[in-house]
Amino acid sequence: RSRIQMNYKIAVIPGDGIGPDIIKEAQRVLEKIGEVYGHTFEYSELLAGGAALDAEGIPLPQKTIDECKNSDSVLLGAVGGPKWDHLDGKMRPEQALLGLRSGLGLFANLRPAVLFNELKAACPLKDEIIGDDGLDIMCVRELTGGIYFGKRGTDGSKAFDTLEYSEEEVKRIAKQAFEIAMKRDKKVTSVDKANILDTSRLWRKVVEEVAKDYPEVTYEHMYVDNAAMQLVRYPKQFDVILTGNMFGDILSDEASMITGSIGMLPSASLGEGKVGMYEPIHGSAPDIAGQNIANPIATILSTAMMLRYSFSLEKEADAIENAVKSVLAKGYRTKDIVGTGEQSVGTNEMGDLIVQEI
């Protein structure tokens, strides 16, 4: 990607529940970045999930996929809600996410678990474990292979699921993890179960090969059971955690809960091509939709990830992250992260504050 491109086309999928509320604030932040740094962001607003079911009778219209493929990146709010809970199989709103991931070839899921020092009270771990400089871990999870995609079946009183990984699949996700580590603290912990599983032994071998291309990055292997324990025992030892689909599913949820703030955490899904998909880790939170209560920070930080990983706009991404930090440092909180005795602000106000800070 050329650094001189100044016009970016972004597919925007607000989705359901609080999706539209938080996406609106994220777009205002992008607008401000464009103004300050001289970029133009062009949006095409698209339907997916419940919103698409209501309008077109399917969770992921072809037009949405086509437009996403034609864009430089995808910004997604959240999909689903009780209104569509009676639907099953291919008609579920969540099918839109799977369809987008496979349609766009997104094999890497990046989930930072960042604990801002100002929000330490939300962390369930003891103060002495976290210290005074918060926590910053990046989980890099393989997203389109492994046991969730292997041959499966039921045979009378037995059922089976198969776990397969090819060298190529491991290689591309390992490369992503080492590339990301180069932009961070240059440490990769590759998590597997190589004492039991052949796929994990292959995983180790490939990771070691890939590591040779990144001599500046220190790496280690860790068994998944140990990693689950180390995450709550001493999480500061981790920088980038590289792992497969199922282990990553579990460990990234564990890591995010150490921060205690579901409304604060962004995510990115990346592939070989230029299009990435960026979304908050939380769901559509239908209980608080449309009430100007939802925390927009996870989505705003997702746009920072988009600028960093899809557009290589590092200083613009830093500007967003620093603006969020400043607003928190000044004591502003949405309802979900407010402490006792503190005053809370609404979704729009939080968006305003971050925009002003930029």
Annotated binding site: which residue ranges?
81-94, 101, 111, 141, 225, 249, 253, 283-295
145 is an interface residue for ligand ATP by CB under 6 A: no
Tokens of 78: 């959240």
Q: Provide the minimum distance between the beta carbon of 240 and ligand ATP in the complex, in angstroms, as a whole number.
A: 25
**Which distant-in-sequence residues (6+ apart) come within 8 Å of 167 by Cβ?**
202, 206
Residue 183 bears catalytic tag: no
253 is catalytic: yes
Of 2, 27, 21, 23, nearest in space to 13 by CA: 23
Q: How far is CA 248 from the centre of its chain?
A: 12
Number of residue whose CB is nearest ligand ATP = 283
Stretch that binds ligand ATP, among 41-49, 118-126, 221-229, 293-301 (CB under 6 A): 293-301
Kindly tell me which residue out of 141, 172, 193, 282 binds ligand ATP, with binding defined by CB under 6 A: 282
Active-site annotation holder among 253, 315, 318, 330: 253
For Mg ion, the binding residues in 268-297 under the rule CB under 5 A are: 283
- Asked if 104 touches ligand ATP (CB under 6 A), the answer is no
Q: Which one of ligand ATP, Mg ion, none is in contact with 337 (Cβ closer than 5 to 8 A by kind)?
A: none
Q: How far apart are the first and last CA of the chain?
A: 25
Q: Which amino acid is at 117?
A: N
SS3 108: strand
Q: Does 26 bind ligand ATP (CB under 6 A)?
A: no
Annotated binding site for Mg(2+): 225, 249, 253
Q: Toward Mg ion, which CB reaches closer, 280 or 351?
A: 280
The partner in contact with residue 267, picked from ligand ATP, Mg ion, none with C-beta cut-offs of 5 to 8 angstroms by kind, is none
The one catalytic residue in 72, 192, 239, 249 is: 249
| Residue 336 interacting with ligand ATP (CB under 6 A) | yes
Of 117, 110, 123, which Cα lies nearest the Cα of 261? 123
* Burial (0-12, 13-18, 19+ Cβ within 10 Å), 251: buried
Residues 234 and 270: their CA atoms lie apart, in Å, by: 29
Annotated catalytic residue within 148, 171, 325, 335: 148
Residue 27 as a binder of ligand ATP (CB under 6 A): the answer is no
3-state class (DSSP) for residue 39:
coil
Q: How far apart are CA 115 and CA 138, in angstroms?
A: 12
Binding to ligand ATP by CB under 6 A, coded x per residue (else -) over 69-88, reads: ---------x-x--------
The CA-based dihedral angle spanning residues 40, 45, 49, 55, taken in that order and rounded to the nearest 10 degrees = 180
Of these partners, Mg ion, ligand ATP, none, which one is at the site of residue 66 (CB under 5 to 8 Å by kind)?
none
3-class secondary-structure state, position 287: helix
Per the CB < 8 A criterion, the answer to whether 320 and 301 are in contact is: yes
Site string for ligand ATP, 228-267 (x = CB under 6 A): ----------------------------------xx----
Does residue 345 contact residue 353 with C-beta atoms inside 8 Å? yes
79 or 119: CB nearest Mg ion: 79
List the structure tokens of 54. 């209501």
What token pair was written down for 172? 């591309």
Binding site for Mg ion (CB under 5 A): 283
Binding site for ligand ATP (CB under 6 A): 18, 78, 80, 262-263, 282-285, 287-288, 294-295, 298, 336
